[in-house]
């Protein structure tokens, strides 16, 4: 069974940092692109970032570029999102999402971890 | 900044057919935008329905289908059921940067 479990969310002050983790199981992690997606309270979805299978290609939404860094540790079956210089509008649920192998897209989602940026 | 636009809300009767669309501010949506579609119900994580324009996942009900229609990506629901009431989001790829649409709230009434 494919599982993605996010952790690391919490309350952080504006300007602070947080590192999210996503531990996966039930599939060969190293064979898949991975994504992070955010949903602000009561609002729509924002694609945040993606990383390719060997970590050599990363892409970011304009709103997080230069502040967030996606990475992966295939030995630990873990995806990361390092978030720096956090702002109030970074508040939301962060989902870890597996890339679809057959063609560009996604398939499985985690349940998310909540990040609140507030003083 | 690229903007992806969806209908804010649509209403459909049970058993009916409805088409949701997804437009890009940069021009026509094509297959190289690899349109994806997602369903989200209250209190739940989104669920992937369609990838790369037309492809379904094993769990995608057969009444859902994806296409390109008049320069937009489209999601068509045929034989709508009450449990299809949800928010639907499209996602487009712009050369490695992906952008979600604002979502369509589908009401089944």
Mean pLDDT of chain A: 96
Which of A35, A107, A112 faces B57 most closely, judged by CB atoms?
A: A107
Say yes or no to pLDDT of A35 above 90.
yes
The answer to whether B51 contacts A100, with C-beta atoms less than 8 Å apart, is yes
pLDDT in tens, chain B (109 residues): 899 999 999 999 999 999 999 999 999 999 999 999 999 999 999 999 999 999 999 999 999 999 999 999 999 999 999 999 999 999 999 999 999 999 999 999 9
The answer to whether A102 contacts B93, with C-beta atoms less than 8 Å apart, is no
Residues of B with CB under 8 A from a CB of A: 1, 34, 36, 38, 40, 45-48, 50-52, 55, 57, 87, 89, 91, 93, 96-103
The Cα–Cα gap between B92 and A47 comes to 10
| Number of helices (H), then strands (E), in chain B | 0, 11
Which residue is it, tokens 């069974």? A1
The verdict on A106 touching B (C-beta cutoff 8 Å) is yes
Q: For the residues A98-117, what does the mean pLDDT come to? A: 92
The answer to whether A107 contacts B103, with C-beta atoms less than 8 Å apart, is no
Say yes or no to pLDDT of A43 above 90.
no
The answer to whether B36 contacts A57, with C-beta atoms less than 8 Å apart, is no
Residues 6+ apart with CB under 8 A from B71: B23, B27, B28, B29
Chain A CB contacts of B101 below 8 Å: 44
Chain B CB contacts of A94 below 8 Å: none
> Do strands B9-12 and B104-108 pair parallel, antiparallel, or not at all (unpaired)?
parallel
The Cα–Cα gap between A90 and B23 comes to 25
Percent of chain A at pLDDT > 90 equals 92
The answer to whether A45 contacts B100, with C-beta atoms less than 8 Å apart, is yes
Q: What confidence score (pLDDT) does residue A42 get? A: 84
Q: What confidence score (pLDDT) does residue B85 get? A: 98
Are B102 and B4 in contact by the 8 Å Cβ rule? The answer is yes
Q: For the residues A101-117, what does the mean pLDDT come to? A: 92
Q: What confidence score (pLDDT) does residue A103 get? A: 81
Q: Name the pLDDT band for A33 (thresholds 50, 70, 90).
A: very high
Residues A46-96: tens digit of each pLDDT: 999 999 999 999 999 999 999 999 999 999 999 999 999 999 999 999 999
């Amino acid at each position: 069974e494919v599982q993605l479990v996010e952790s690391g969310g919490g309350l952080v002050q504006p300007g602070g940092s947080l590192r999210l983790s996503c531990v996966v199981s039930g599939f060969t992690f190293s064979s898949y692109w991975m994504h992070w997606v955010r949903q602000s309270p009561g609002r729509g979805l924002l694609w945040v970032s993606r990383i390719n299978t060997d970590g050599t290609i990363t892409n970011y939404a304009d709103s997080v570029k230069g502040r967030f860094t996606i990475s992966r540790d295939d030995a630990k079956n873990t995806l990361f999102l390092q978030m720096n210089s956090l702002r109030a509008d970074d508040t939301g649920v962060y989902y870890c999402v597996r890339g679809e192998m057959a063609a560009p897209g996604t398939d499985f989602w985690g349940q998310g971890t909540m990040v609140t940026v507030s003083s | 900044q690229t903007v992806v636009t969806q209908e804010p809300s649509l209403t459909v009767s049970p058993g009916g057919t409805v088409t949701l669309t997804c437009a890009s501010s940069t021009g026509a949506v094509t297959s190289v935008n690899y349109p994806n579609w997602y369903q989200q119900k209250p209190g739940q994580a989104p669920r992937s329905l369609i990838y790369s324009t037309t492809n379904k996942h094993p769990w995608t009900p057969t009444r859902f289908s994806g296409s390109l229609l008049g320069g937009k990506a489209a999601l068509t629901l045929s034989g709508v059921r009450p449990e299809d009431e949800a928010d639907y989001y499209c996602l487009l790829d712009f050369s490695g940067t992906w952008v979600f649409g604002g979502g369509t709230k589908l009401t089944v009434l």
